[in-house]
Amino acid sequence: RGFYEEGDEDTDRKYVGEIENGLPNGHGKYTFPQVTQNYVGGFKDGLRSGVGTYTWSDHSPNGGGKYEGEYENNRRNGKGKRTFLNGYVQEGEFKNNEFWNGTLKDKDGNIISNYVNGEEQD
């Protein structure tokens, strides 16, 4: 973790935005060049917080996609929408990075399943 005021833009993570007490606080953009990831949105004490958009490539450990929604303590927490590379969409409530309550839809918008308290419903 961390950000760098100086460093190699091609290899080091980069933050551009509001800073307070030496950490990202307020609105900003964090870029991770090694795995083509970036986050644009709110920060509090250096952690993702508030509303933001996180995108990542298919080369990342999580397979790639986009999340638009609420964050707390650097994790997806609250209302949000996660879009996968195959076009599937999770939309609803997230809790500690897990999809908690809402629907999973295919690329055509058809509901595949519903989630209640983190459990997929039949």
pLDDT tens readout for residues 83-106:
998 899 999 999 999 999 999 999
What pLDDT does residue 2 have? Answer: 47
Task: Using 50 as the pLDDT threshold, list the residues of the chain that sit under it.
Answer: 1-2
Task: List Cα–Cα distances, 9 to 32, 91, 100, in angstroms.
Answer: 9, 34, 36
- Name the pairing type of β-strands 89-95 and 75-84: antiparallel
The pTM for the full model equals 0.82
> Which residues are bridge partners to 16 per DSSP?
29
Please give the share of the chain, as a percent, with pLDDT higher than 90: 62
Euclidean distance between CA atoms 104 and 14, whole angstroms: 33
Tell me what percent of the chain is helix, strand and coil, each rounded to the nearest 5: 0, 65, 35
What pLDDT does residue 30 have? Answer: 83
